[in-house]
Structure 1
């Protein structure tokens, strides 16, 4: 039996607030789009969004909300919805006061108005793009100052017109659009459920020097598991996994490998269902528990990430982790 393993011990929680009233439609839209961006239908999202009901933030400026949260000792970046979110499917990613002050002092002249004491930096971004962009920034592969001035980050100026939201242009709701962004499943399979090849047409594209062999799920095992198996005549490399050993797999051996999700499999909820759930917010009937090893199981590939604070690569001070499966939550 194929066993799935969670890649993350717990998803990273991104806190969201709103300058307008939170209607059921607005909550559902944000949850849906965020779930699409995290591929939550496969049950192992790396991020969730927690929608916080703060009526005192209605009609407040972005800067005032940042300062109010700072005063409450919440100094991490946050998501901000506004009156345009329901139509634009976009939100604001507001960075930390520390990043804003340092970037303004080091690189850019301040944009201030009466009562302002520094320039707040933020990004207007499509909700479906936010999880991927968060991973890029939080993983330290992109520094905030390298992204501004430009398409992603801009100084907050309440007198400027709202710029179009940033997007990578990927269609995260389809397998082709998500290629290279959606991580493959991490699984254990029995010897009878895998096939092995030493075909140079496959292995020579898997590294330098190439491995001696590669493994993949058989078609039958892949269909039962909601995954994809390489088809004859189409040596699609990402459906094969690097085999690290000199000898081929042996009977009785348990093989760990990566496998692509089959987006058309009935095992997974379709992408269009990944947002409008029955029941109260946070009720997420996803495929998270299907066939996955229990948390803490020996040998589980479960990574507890220590992200740097977005922008400058420093440890986050109010990072929140929750033990939940799903792509969205509401508080």
Structure 2
């Protein structure tokens, strides 16, 4: 099954709505800017689906819940949305929150298409009910490690806060970098103030400092301290989780926020659908859309295709993951089983390492394609 690149205008939809539950971090301490981008992409896709006639003539409707980066809020929201009769669940950005949502959805028999979270194991046990668009963390962070090693940045310090996600990222880097002659030095970003962290980086003789920390703080304060420390002038700051992707990063840091490589899930060139959607997203966001907005749009595009072919029966939707093929904004989407993830995975999701151009911090440079 597939979806057309551009919807016809103004087809009528009536009857009871087909409801999809949505999870997104829309307030702090979640990365609210990411949540807003995700929701904007989802809402744009709903508009396009309904303009194209909805779900066999019925309007598609979102029931949105704010997770605020809290796994317990996510669990409660999934239970509520299941009781309200949504046909499927979509969204979420934070990996630990997505894992809580996926586990709960699986237990309730609710199909869940995860938009943006990357933690490899999204559920405690393998399941047929959960699928994911974003690449697994192991694939993305190994690509990031390849970029660092190729740039001669093999002595890597990680400033990390306690988190399953950050710990997983550190483990992936160590398992990949050390056998290739590099090293990974762990620094406790919660115990060390930014100035003390700079001392530790200088003492370690690291060539790279990765920010495995929350955004905007302590990430912004660490960047400012490193940029002002002459001992660290040659140290590359990196942020594989994507903090520099969002406009607030550039507003807070200005030129200091440039030349900090991060992972982004966009292709080298958008196709016709991607170009049209980028234009619409830019208009809605009053600025350049992040890859997260495209993930949101693609999520609803996939679910709409499944709903048109399988109706709102949750079991039928979950059984259809391996059979759906959809033209998304970033390429053709189909799902397969990927080792160690336990869910249906878009295996061909694009991966880039990019940074903000020091000559023009509002412009991105592609440094590596994975």
| Fold shared per TM-score above 0.5 | no
Name which one, 1 or 2, has greater alpha-carbon Rg: 1
The structure where helix makes up a greater share of residues is: 2
Q: Which has the higher contact order (CA 8 A, sep 6+)?
A: 1
User: Could you tell me the TM-score, scaled by structure 2's length?
Assistant: 0.27
